[in-house]
């Protein structure tokens, strides 16, 4: 029988990007993992995503309680009851066969239900207790293998087999079924810094070259399973030629401007954190009309917002006008890095970026991340994040105290701004070291900084007058 080349969905955008081409009619996928790792959530997500495309799903369970399953799935935005009412879902709970000899009749019963319901997706939850009933019966196990290999062809659709992996073990105990599966996905979880960390391993995908073996995932209430797969280098475009201007003549004359996708690293002494740099950031946002997201790993979003405008107030009596200009241009968020894994933290950041779609994103107190997370894991996550944002053309500003990781942060940047404390006339003051790729570094002294701020405030006032004048 000829099959359509239509691709099935997993319900997870990033997973579809990685393996979606393999989920064609006639496919057979195994979702395996430890208890509580998210197997049922993933299998249900596959079922639900395709029901939303008007494809029927048959969910066959040997142990799962229907009401409990429906209730749990609703918390991750999977509404099985609604789909059942629309005639797109049939949930069946079947008792396991008591003897090896009954397995053939049992499989005939499943096939009868499949023919009757005509689904395009079949979920078996789970294959493990069924295999346990036949144990060492080679004939029965062969029968099971052939049966599940033939169902996808029979329905011209997709079959999802859930398989249990016992705690403290890694091997999938499904015998030869593993060899006939078109894809094998393994979900794992572990405790790290007293936090639950989840990951998905792509063990096998027939017909699709896979280079990424493990991906961090999270189960988020109201959203379900989310994941973020980093882009490959070939997907990173060159930076656009458009330049955003510096609101300071000296910087503009020397460095020209900032491109989309540029990485800016700003460091300051941990014991002299004056707000000078925030004034430059505010000027840059207003001068270029940039939609901006600011994420702090140290301050609450309200505290960050208050601090920002307090610095502006210290040099400008027009703070209320500036706040009005920026109210729709900047959003403040905070994430406690000590309260999450690096994978889940990255997923939260990605969800913010996708929701806000900013021109520029500012990460505040990045030095804390480098101290909390293991260096190799942190650097891998950081590189993937930078590549993703560069691909989107987002300007990336990373701000943190100068510490032993300074060289690492600076090496990843296109523009480095380092605020230093110097002693002049027996008094501490600040200078700003600025370097941009392709240019020689310069140092702004106190007089240069004050002139830049004065010039920038005048420019901001001009822009505000222009934007607010009656038309």
Q: Where are the domains of the chain?
A: 13-229, 235-468
Chain-wide mean pLDDT for the chain? 86
pLDDT at 453 over 50: yes
High-pLDDT (> 70) share of the chain, %: 94
DSSP conformation class of 20: G
Higher local confidence (pLDDT), 372 or 293: 293
**In which band, very low, low, confident or very high, does the pLDDT at 180 lie, cut at 50, 70 and 90?**
confident
Give the phi and the psi of residue 429 in degrees, each rounded to 5: -140, 175
pLDDT at 322 over 90: no
CATH class given for the domain over 13-229 = alpha beta
Rounded CA separation 155/418 (Å):
63
Give the phi and the psi of residue 135 in degrees, each rounded to 5: 45, -110
DSSP conformation class of 246: P
DSSP labels, 132-178? HHHTT-HHHHHHHHHHHHHHHHHHTSEEEEEEE--TT------TTHH
Q: What CATH architecture is 235-468?
A: 3-Layer(aba) Sandwich (3.40)
**Beta bridge pairs of residue 230:** none
Query: Are 13-229 and 235-468 in the same CATH fold?
Result: yes
| pLDDT, tens digit (0-9, with 9 covering 90-100), for 63-88 | 889 999 999 999 999 999 999 999 99
Q: What is the dihedral of CA 323, 324, 329, 333, to 10 degrees?
A: 50
Rounded CA separation 187/91 (Å):
24
Q: Which contacts qualify for 47-50: CB closer than 8 Å, 24 or more apart?
A: 47/89, 47/121, 47/123, 47/160, 48/11, 48/73, 48/78, 48/79, 48/80, 48/83, 49/9, 49/10, 49/11, 50/8, 50/9, 50/120, 50/121, 50/158
| pLDDT, tens digit (0-9, with 9 covering 90-100), for 359-380 | 999 999 999 988 888 888 888 8
Residue 467, CA distances (Å) to 109, 313, 324, 329, 434 in order: 72, 21, 11, 14, 31
**Residue 448: partners with Cβ closer than 8 Å, 6 or more residues away:** 250, 432
- Peptide bond just before 126 cis, omega within 30 deg: yes
């Amino acid at each position: 029988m000829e099959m359509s080349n239509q691709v099935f969905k997993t319900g997870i955008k990033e997973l579809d990007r990685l393996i979606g081409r393999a989920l064609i009619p006639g496919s057979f996928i195994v979702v395996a993992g430890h208890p509580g790792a998210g197997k049922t959530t993933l299998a249900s997500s596959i079922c639900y995503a395709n029901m939303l495309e008007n494809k029927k799903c048959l969910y066959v369970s040997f142990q799962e309680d229907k009401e409990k399953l429906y209730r749990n799935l609703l918390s991750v935005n999977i509404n099985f009851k609604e789909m059942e009412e629309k005639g797109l879902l049939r949930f069946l709970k079947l008792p396991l066969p008591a003897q090896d000899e009954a397995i053939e009749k049992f499989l005939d019963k499943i096939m009868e239900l499949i023919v009757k319901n005509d689904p395009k997706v079949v979920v078996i939850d789970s294959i493990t207790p069924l295999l346990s009933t036949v144990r060492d019966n080679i004939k029965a196990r062969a029968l099971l293998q052939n049966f599940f290999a033939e169902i996808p062809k029979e329905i011209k659709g997709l079959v999802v087999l859930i398989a249990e992996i016992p705690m403290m073990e890694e091997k999938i105990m499904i015998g030869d079924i593993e060899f006939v599966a078109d894809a094998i996905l393994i979900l794992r979880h572990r405790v790290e810094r007293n936090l639950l960390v989840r990951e998905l391993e792509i063990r096998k995908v027939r017909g699709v070259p896979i280079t990424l073996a493990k991906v961090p995932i999270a189960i988020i209430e109201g959203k379900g399973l989310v994941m973020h797969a980093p882009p490959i280098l070939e997907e990173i475009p060159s930076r656009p030629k458009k330049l955003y201007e510096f609101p300071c003549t000296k910087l503009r004359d020397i460095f020209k401007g900032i491109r989309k996708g540029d990485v800016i690293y700003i460091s300051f002494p941990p014991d002299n954190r004056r707000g000078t740099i925030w004034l430059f950031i505010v000027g840059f946002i207003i001068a270029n009309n940039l939609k901006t997201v600011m994420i702090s790993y140290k301050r609450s979003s309200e505290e960050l917002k208050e601090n920002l405008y307090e610095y502006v107030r210290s040099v400008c009596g027009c703070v209320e006008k500036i706040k009005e200009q920026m109210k729709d241009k900047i959003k403040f968020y905070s994430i406690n890095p000590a309260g999450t894994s690096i994978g889940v933290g990255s997923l939260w950041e990605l969800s913010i970026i996708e929701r806000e779609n900013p021109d520029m994103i500012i990460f505040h107190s990045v030095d804390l991340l480098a101290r909390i997370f293991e260096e190799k894991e942190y650097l891998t996550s950081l590189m993937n994040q930078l590549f993703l944002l560069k691909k989107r053309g987002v300007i990336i500003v990373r701000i943190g105290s100068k510490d032993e990781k300074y060289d690492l942060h600076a090496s990843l940047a296109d523009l480095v701004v380092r605020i230093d404390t110097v002693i002049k006339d027996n008094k501490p003051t600040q200078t700003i070291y600025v370097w941009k790729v392709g240019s020689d570094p310069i140092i702004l002294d106190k007089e240069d900084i004050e002139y830049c701020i004065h010039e920038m405030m005048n420019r901001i006032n001009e822009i505000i007058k222009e934007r607010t004048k009656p038309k």
